[in-house]
């Protein structure tokens, strides 16, 4: 199996963050570059997902695709307990 293409670039971080990255890499028995790449990959994945969800929500709003009053009542009813009138 062919290894994925890799791009190298420089990122400047505060010394304190670099020290923490080195400590984490040591605990994980990996390199600073590996741990940094994993962190970047996680960030990109989360941000990509979040932005896609926001864009989907905006598209729904643009289509006026909102929950009905009955839908909202059902959701609210799940979380509210009826008042005890004793």
Greatest CA separation found in the chain? Answer: 72
Count of residues in the chain: 86
Q: What is the pLDDT of residues 5-63, one digit of tens each?
A: 989 999 999 999 999 999 999 999 999 999 999 999 999 999 999 999 999 999 999 99
Q: Do residues 28 and 35 lie in contact, with contact meaning Cβ atoms separated by under 8 Å?
A: yes
Domain boundaries, the chain: 15-79
The arithmetic mean of pLDDT across residues 78-85, rounded, is 77
Q: What distance in Å separates the CA atoms of residue 39 and residue 28, rounded to the nearest whole number?
A: 13
């Amino acid at each position: 199996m062919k290894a994925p293409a890799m791009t190298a670039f420089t990122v400047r971080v505060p010394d304190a963050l670099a020290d923490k990255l080195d400590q984490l890499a040591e605990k994980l028995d990996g390199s600073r570059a590996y741990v940094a790449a994993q962190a970047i990959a996680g960030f990109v994945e989360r941000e990509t997902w979040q932005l896609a969800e926001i864009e989907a929500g905006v598209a729904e709003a643009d289509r006026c695709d909102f929950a009905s009053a009955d839908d909202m009542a059902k959701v609210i009813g799940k979380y509210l307990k009826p008042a005890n009138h004793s």
